[in-house]
Amino acid sequence: MLGSVPRGVAELGGVTRLAGQVVWSAVRHPRGYWTETRDEMFRVLTRSAVPMVLAVFTFALMIGILGLNFLNLLGAAYRYGQYFFIVNTRDFTPWINSMVVAGIVGTALCADLGARRIREEIDALEVLGLDPVRELVLPRVLSISLLTPLLMTVSLVMGIVGGLYSTVTYGDVPAADYWETLFKNLTSVEMVVAVGKSLLIGFVTGVVCAHKGLTARGGSIGVGRAVNEAVVLSFVLVFLVDFAVNLTALGLFPEMGSVR
């Protein structure tokens, strides 16, 4: 168990180092990678849009039924919209969105880079004087970082629709009450925090999966192991980022702690 601590510190250090290289490369030479980033964003969208929409809508229905059961006991089912929006915006939608991105896009990124490492293609790029981070990692991490907030916005809308459906059909609450309480809590601060958190989650997920792919060892078995480790580490860091951003936002904007 003690031996896993230095390994975890080394992994975190490698992820941090790669994140710094990606940011420095993007800022130092902000040209030459936007075409690849655009194409990669399209590939990310085609892979993750449908699973994300289905997952968010299904979980919204499930959470809607469970939440309405509790509020019905309190006689406050008409206030479900405001509570659902807060949970949906701060935790539920970013979590589902990040899980889909890490599980579909992140695994593909890690497997591709891991296969290139095993086939020594990355070593060949370095021999040719090309930077693998610049050529392979930067466009993909940037595409995931930019597209994750866009997917979060779509999933947020689908979550609201799923909550409305469960409220009207299962809770017998008028749609007007749902929208009234929801829009009272729909503020610019909530949206900015949600989009910023999704941007950070997408960046962390991309860097983690890229790092595990670049450091894959041991043939095809090692690539599979790297993919599994990338998904697990991404999930852990997503929870930490979500927790840290929510605490910071509540500290900077105390009005987020009140329900309107």
- pLDDT tens digits, 234-245: 888 888 888 888
241-249 contacts at long range (C-beta below 8 A, 24 or more positions apart):
241/197, 241/200, 241/201, 241/204, 242/91, 242/94, 242/95, 242/98, 242/197, 242/201, 245/193, 245/196, 245/197, 245/200, 246/90, 246/91, 246/197, 249/189, 249/193
Residue 175 inside a domain? The answer is yes
pLDDT tens for residues 24-33? 888 888 888 8
Q: Is the dihedral of CA 130, 132, 134, 135 positive or negative?
A: positive
Residue 202 inside a domain? The answer is yes
Residue 1 inside a domain? The answer is no
Residue 14 inside a domain? The answer is no
Residue 17 inside a domain? The answer is no
| Secondary structure (3-state) at 243 | helix
Read off the tokens for 8: 């975890």
- Which pLDDT does position 41 carry in this prediction? 83
Residue 251 inside a domain? The answer is yes
Confidence of residue 5 (pLDDT cuts 50, 70, 90): low
Domain that holds residue 204: 34-257
- Residue 154's nearest CA partner among 49, 259, 21, 3 is 49
- Which pLDDT does position 62 carry in this prediction? 76
CA atoms within 13 A on the CB side of 27: 6
Inform me whether the pLDDT recorded for 52 exceeds 60. yes
214-220 contacts at long range (C-beta below 8 A, 24 or more positions apart):
214/18, 214/113, 214/114, 214/117, 214/122, 214/132, 214/137, 215/14, 215/117, 216/110, 216/113, 216/114, 216/117, 216/118, 217/117, 219/118, 220/118
- Which pLDDT does position 86 carry in this prediction? 78
| CA dist list (Å): 191 to 85, 198, 202, 214, 253 | 11, 11, 16, 35, 13
Confidence of residue 208 (pLDDT cuts 50, 70, 90): very high
Residue 29 inside a domain? The answer is no
Sorted by sequence, the CB contacts under 8 Å of residue 139 that are 6+ apart come out as 33, 36, 37, 40
Q: Is the pTM of this model over 0.85?
A: yes
* φ and ψ at residue 109, rounded to 5 degrees: -65, -45
Above pLDDT 90, what percent of the chain? Answer: 3
Inform me whether the pLDDT recorded for 135 exceeds 50. yes
Total domain count, the chain:
1
Confidence of residue 246 (pLDDT cuts 50, 70, 90): confident
Write down the residue that tokens 């980022």 correspond to. Answer: 241
Q: Please say whether the beta carbons of 245 and 200 come within 8 A.
A: yes
- Which pLDDT does position 203 carry in this prediction? 92
Residue 157 inside a domain? The answer is yes
